[in-house]
Each structure stands twice: as C-alpha cells, then as structure tokens.
Structure 1
Amino acid sequence: MARAIEKEVGLEAHSLDQQGYGFGAKHGFDSNVQDAMMGERRIPLLNYVQAGVFRDPGQNFTFEEVEYLLTDLCLSERSFALQIKGDSMLPDFKEGDRIIVDCELTPRPGDYVVAKNSEEEATFKKYRLLCIDEGGQEIFELVPLNDDYPSIRSDQHAIEIIGTMVEHRKYYRRS
C-alpha cells in the first residue's frame, strides 16, 4: 500500500519507510508524533457477565462471534478487554471506553481492577488496600471515582479480584 501511495504522489520508492518523513520534517521542524505499531495480539472483548467468570481456574473459553482488540502489550494468556458501562468511574472512565485487563497481575494500591461481585458479575473500580488481617488476608475496598457511588469493602461483601487494568482506550467522539 505504501508503494502505491508513493507512486501516486510522486515520491521515491520506500521514502515513506524513513523515520522523520512527514509534514514536520518536510517543513523544517520536529514533529511531536511518531508512527505507532499496530498490535498483533488479539484480546477478547467480553461483557460483564463473561468477565465475572473469566478468572475461574481451569475455565477455557472458546469465543465465537466475539470482538477482539489488538494490543502490542506483552500480556498473560488470561487477559481480556472490557467496555465500560455506567458512570461510576467518571470523570476518568466514560461509558464506551475500553480497558484491557491482565488476570495474572496482582493489584497494587491505586491500580484499577475488575472484580467479581456477589452476583457473579464484573465491576470496575479503583483498588485501595486497607490492611492485612490476622490471617494474612488483604482487606481492601473498591472505590468508584464518582462520589455518587459507594465503595465496596472486601470484609463486608463477597468480592474477588479478577484482574488489573493495563490499558485504557479513551474515545472522544461517540457515534
């Protein structure tokens, strides 16, 4: 495709392959953007119910008629994408934004996580470690960014961390 574009606009062959080609270089100033590689790793885009059971040990998913996102991140095989719904994570995460989650990453305080609630459905919140109990178990809360929603504490509700967010895709224009 690049060769066809070069021929059509009268450029030398392979000139589009060279670093620094573009408007800024052509007009004598540095550009603040660079070409980005399109990822080749396919990550399944799950719904909140599928994400709620994704962490179950030994669960093998065969995804038929599922959408995939491409990423260039080096992730575990137990990774998935999720589309944000609702407004509990406003202003940083809007409905329709997409995140990529790795189930093999242990969250640290301040990370964003997907967790399974008592209804076996996934929820997306900020992870806050409160303490370690006498039995060595972490007591944590899942915090929405929108103050209109309550936090969920692990010592008061049955919640289980599914995975930690590693990528957030913001969309500025909605169709």
Structure 2
Amino acid sequence: MDTIAENLKRLLAHRGISEGKLAEMVGCSQTAISKFLTGKSTKTKYLMDIVETLGVSLDDLRSGKYLADNQADTMNGPDVASYYPVLGQVPAGDFAVIYEAAVADPETEWLPHYKKYRRAFYLRVQGDSMEPTLSENDKVLVEVGAIPEHKNIVVVRNGSNESTIKRFMVDGQDKYLVPDNGRYPVRLLTDDTSIVGVVRSVVRDL
C-alpha cells in the first residue's frame, strides 16, 4: 500500500475521524477516500485538500514524521487510545459542533491520551487559583458531561459563559467550588453555574 495512504489511515485513527467524516470535510465522496486508503486507487485529486484540512504537510505525511512527533512522548508509556483537541476556552453550545470545528481547523493542537472518552477536550489552565495542583499553562483533559464525585477537579461555566477550574466539594446537601490556592474564596455551586466536565489528567511542560 502507498506510504502516504498508510500514514493517512494512522492519522485518521489517532484523531478519531472516519472516512465519511473526512469526505464531508474535504467535499468529496466517501468512495474516493476509501479507494485511496485501501490502495484501490494510488492517486487522488483530493490529496492536497486532505492534507490542508488535517493541517499536515504532504512531506510529513509521506515520511511519517508528523505521526512520529505526536507519538514521541508516549512510545515508552501506555498505548495511545485517542487524540483530543486543545481548545482555547470552555466550549459553549453543542459539543459535537465544537468538536467538528476543531477537527476542521488546521491550527488545532491535538494531544494523545491512553484512555478513550466519548467526549473530551484539553483545556489550557489560566491563573493560579488551583496552585499547587495545577499551574498556569498546564493542559488538562476534561471529560465532557461526566458526573463529578467529591474532591474531583471540575470545569464549570456560569450564566455569563465565564469559565473556571475548581475542586468539587460536597457538604451535606450543599456543593461547593473550592480553589486549591487558599488566597481565593470558596464559592457555593448555584443554579446558574453548570459543570462542563471532570478533569481526568494534566499535561505539564517542563
């Protein structure tokens, strides 16, 4: 099989993109994508559209360098189960639409994880309210829609679409959002605040 096609199949698997979804993003038939990926057709006029859509160069896809770079930090650890997009802010609205927009954006950064979640994204931490547990610019993996348990770290959004990361604490019937940094106040979880998801892991650049 053509090296580019093989590497493209691996890249699609890493990002969780189906043949049908790629065809929709590129604007061609699924048959055209399938023939190229299975080796039934060694060329496709949509190849440049494909690499532009996925945000990779043709040379990197041919050499496999792009895939190697993305796997460099996980080769000796657990197997990568999936890749998730790094979002600049907490998404508001239908997560499926937001995810599709991230997939279509060639500037989107993707990070690996050893567990597969149905809906998840990475979020860059801002501020120091969760020090020393989380530091500014850490990237946390958020499982969207997960039910939080006592002491979980969660991402929440208020009625004004302002978001924050805090620790979820339960005291009797009351639920609180507690910063790990004692310089910040504890807040009662009110009806106008929604929990977006639960933080499952953190990536920290040294």
TM-score, normalization by structure 2: 0.56
Matched-pair contact (CA < 8 Å) for 1:116–1:162:
yes
Higher relative contact order structure (alpha carbons within 8 Å, sequence separation ≥ 6): 1
1:40 positional shift: 4.8
Note if contact 1:52-1:121 (Cα within 8 Å) is conserved in structure 2: no
Partner of 1:12: none
Distance in 2 separating the partners of 1:38 and 1:97:
22
Instruction: Give the Cα–Cα distance (whole angstroms) in 2 for the partners of residues 37 and 151 of structure 1.
Output: 37
State the Cα distance separating 1:37 from its structure 2 match.
3.8
Deviation at 1:57, TM superposition (A): 4.7
Structure 1 residue runs of 5 or longer lacking an equivalent are 1-33, 133-138
CA deviations over 1:72-127 (Å, ceiling 9, x no partner)? 21211x21101111111111111111110101320000000000023202210100
For 1:110, the equivalent position in structure 2 comes to: 151
Instruction: Decide which structure has the larger Cα Rg and report it.
Output: 1
TM superposition outliers: structure 1 runs of 4+ over 4 Å: none
Confirm or deny: 8 A CA contact 1:52 1:115 kept in the other structure: no
SS at match of 2:176: strand
Mapped contact 2:81–2:116 kept (Cα < 8 A): no
Percent same amino acid among aligned pairs?
A: 24
Query: What CA RMSD, in Å, does the superposition of the two structures yield over aligned residues?
Result: 2.1
- Could you give the per-residue CA deviations for residues 141-172 of structure 1, whole angstroms, max 9, x where no partner exists? 111111111122123x721100001111233x
Question: Contact 2:81–2:115 at 8 Å: present in 1 too?
Answer: no
Structure 1 residue aligned with 2:141: 100
Cα 1:153–1:164, aligned 2, differ >3 Å: closer, same or farther?
same
Please point out which of 146, 151, 161 is paired with 2:186: 151
Q: SS state of the match for residue 172, structure 2?
A: strand
Q: Distance in 1 between matches of 2:187 and 2:97?
A: 29
The structure in which a higher percent of residues are helix is 2
- For structure 2, the 5+ residue unaligned runs are 1-74
- Structure 1 position 52, deviation (Å): 4.1
